[in-house]
Structure 1
Amino acid sequence: MEATQRTRIFREEALRHHEGTQEEGDLLRISPKWTRWTYWVLLALVLAAALYSLLGTLPEYASGPAMVKVEGRGELTVESPGIVASVEVRPGQRVEAGQPLVRFLSREETATLERIQREFELQLVRVLQNPADEAARQALTSLRAERELAQARQRARTLRAPRAGVVSALKVREGQYVNPGESVASITGDEVRVTLVALLPGGYRPRLEPGKPLRVELNGFSHEYQTFTIQSVGDQILGPNEVRRYLGADHGDAVTLEGPLVVVRASIPATTFSIKGKTFNYFDGMLAQADVRVRTERILVTLIPGLKGALGHED
């Protein structure tokens, strides 16, 4: 009895329960069900990315600063120094051709004209008293020329509107001293044309041509784009200093320029633009960012430049 109990390590009840059970165990599963469809989703994404990189393209843009130019606007300057005696108009006022805008002190010119006028009248009396006096006649002719010159100098002390239009800017005030060549006022004529001058990297010049679309984002209007058509492309590649001279003294310092540049011009069809239902005017000197698509290249070639010879195709 003791030997039989020693050979059995399980109890009789446990053996009978095991013999009567028909259920079998299952394999240990450590991977959840979602890993199956995740695998196929990832595989599909990899195949789609490979196909897109093979067939898809990336555009390349020539980008640079741009400036709005309002043509038909004249800058009025003075030829001789002087002190502003009075300002006859105000910004936004409409003026006619020949209307006085700014008067300068003209004491010297007035005194000279009065002196010459007195001498002219005295000499005229002598000629009338003795018409045969040839010397008096020659002196009268000389004084007439001096008087006309003095009158022209006095008229030059008054700045007048060269044509009808609107005073867009006044840059002087009463009592201010003005140097020769300094801009005093601006007149915008009735016929105004607005253009955009874009300054693009010179290396893209062979790919730029009239008729291409030019995308523009005006400063102060982020993510609001306008598209114009390139009207002309400069034949020369210029340095920053030459471009500043091209833009003019008033606007040359407003743009940050680096490297060789090419000047691209686009026509703006209207003097106003609308954004989100609001209408705004274009102003001379407004800055913007301009972009021109110059070519497209396959994504795979961009990732692996060595494939350019086999797959590279650009527009």
Structure 2
Amino acid sequence: MSLTRRRTAAALLALPLALSATPALAAGGGGRPRPRTLHIAGDSTAAQKYADAAPETGWGMALPFFLGRSLAVANHAMNGRSSKSFIDEGRLAALLEGVRPGDLVLVQFGHNDEKTEDPTRGTDPYTTYQDCLRQYIEGARARRAEPVLITSVERRRFAGDGTAKATHGEYPAAMRALAALEDVALLDLQALSLARWQELGPDGTLAYFNWLDPGESPNYPAGRQDNTHFAPKGAVEVARTTARALLDERVLAPRDLRRLDEQVPESWITWPQA
């Protein structure tokens, strides 16, 4: 059976439960069904940032700009977490409590799984990393939701000749292999972002990452040269890429998305108080 047919069959299987859940209205009543929710499990590159970290921005903060009104985002991504520590701290269990039939569970880990010197976070690409990712897949499917694996967005790293460098070792390949084995939708954000950084080049990418001159931001009085975390421009770019990939992989339909080819002002990004 083709991937499309398998997903159709899974959707039909979920239909009775989904229909039974339809009367569960959004808080506040009004007769409207609860929006379909995209739950993000991930690390600091996706996470919500607060006023004391501005202008650092996670791509999950910008994702709602590209989604239709029938979709909501629940961003559970957290700084410093790996696929393992997110589970061990009970964060996956907390995320799954809010998952309903028809929702999506977006899973992006790898940056901190690579820190194998830290036993609380490090994983091995083809053993413990895949074992952890399976828990996200199984948890989503148990709730009649669709898991979506996302390879880690690339850092800003360039060789001397200006070639954008891959920095995530075997973790993206291990996620791709698991997605194929488990028949899970995959957004290859690592490959997509690497190609984009190559297009922009070393100088062009500076505005996309949290690079700041001394005195430019009160949160970073000495300046900042961060090649991992995003400025608002970078978060918007990665969120747009993620939304397009959701469309290309047929996880979402055209009616679910908006502004894919429109400018999104950086001023739309806000950082609440912690």
Question: TM-score, with normalisation over the residues of structure 2?
Answer: 0.18
Larger-Rg structure: 1
Larger relative contact order (C-alpha < 8 A, sep ≥ 6)?
Answer: 1
Higher share in helix: 2
Query: So what's the TM-score if we normalise by structure 1?
Result: 0.16
Larger % of strand: which? Answer: 1
